[in-house]
């Protein structure tokens, strides 16, 4: 084996993984290093990318670590990737929000909150692996209960569900910003001013 540093090894493992890699998984893959050393390595790598102003970032998402391109690069990367970004219908977003904030939740509870049938929307969200079946609720009829997935956290760039905006933050978006009234400044005439 060559003189590889722990940082280089951790970086390589995260680079080849198509899903975020948890600290537990890294320590499992690297039994010759203790957990604290692997955690420090992750922090050093994250800080190094950030300090260099790199186009790549090491971010904590969906309970693990993943290399991603900087969001500042979006206009440039879209030149290379001609595909359309993922779009969600209004009904899919509403259903997904209800599941995210109220999970575990049944289809009937979602339909009560939305006021419409959600069967087709739930099926689509299940196919896109943004929602999963968590089990059955222990009530008569034993309806299926739904929750969000790790892919949901990845798509919405969330470390965990605590990263969802609070209702207060959401309602603040609707409030009109209060602007200060500024006095008009006199216009300067061309000469001698």
Tell me the per-residue pLDDT of 82-111, one tens digit each, with 9 for 90 and over: 665 667 888 888 999 999 999 999 999 999
Give yes or no for a cis peptide into 192 (omega within 30° of 0): no
End-to-end Cα separation, the chain, in angstroms: 74
Q: What is the pTM (predicted TM-score) of this model?
A: 0.59
Q: With 0-12 CB in 10 A as exposed, 13-18 as middle and 19+ as buried, what is 46? A: middle
* 61, 20 Cβ separation under 8 angstroms: yes
The strand pairing partners of 67, in sequence order, are 58
- The share of the chain scoring above pLDDT 70, in percent, equals 85
Q: Which residue segments constitute the domains of the chain, with CATH numbers given?
A: 6-72 (1.10.10.10), 90-166 (1.10.10.10)
Q: So what's the pLDDT on residue 153?
A: 87
Kindly indicate the confidence band of residue 185, based on its pLDDT and cuts at 50, 70 and 90.
low
Residue 128 has pLDDT above 50, yes or no: yes
* 102, 86 Cβ separation under 8 angstroms: no
Kindly indicate the confidence band of residue 193, based on its pLDDT and cuts at 50, 70 and 90.
very low
Q: What is the pLDDT of residues 2-42, one digit of tens each?
A: 678 999 999 999 999 988 999 999 999 999 999 999 999 99
């Amino acid at each position: 084996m060559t003189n590889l540093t722990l940082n280089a090894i951790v970086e390589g493992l995260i680079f080849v993984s198509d899903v975020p890699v948890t600290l537990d998984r890294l320590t499992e893959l690297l039994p010759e290093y203790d957990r604290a050393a692997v955690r420090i390595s992750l922090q050093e790598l994250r800080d190094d990318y950030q300090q260099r102003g790199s186009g790549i970032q090491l971010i904590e998402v969906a309970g693990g670590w993943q290399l991603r391109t900087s969001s500042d690069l979006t206009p440039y990367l879209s030149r290379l990737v001609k595909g359309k970004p993922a779009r969600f219908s209004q009904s899919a977003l509403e259903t997904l929000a209800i599941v995210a904030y109220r999970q575990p939740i049944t289809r009937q509870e979602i339909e009560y909150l939305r006021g419409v049938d959600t069967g087709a929307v739930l099926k689509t969200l299940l196919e896109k692996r943004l929602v999963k079946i968590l089990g059955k609720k222990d009530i008569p009829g034993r309806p299926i209960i739904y929750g969000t997935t790790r892919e949901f956290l990845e798509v919405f760039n969330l470390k965990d569900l605590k990263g969802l905006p609070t209702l207060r933050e959401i309602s603040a978006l609707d409030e009109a910003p209060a602007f200060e009234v500024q006095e008009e400044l006199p216009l300067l005439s061309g000469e001698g001013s």
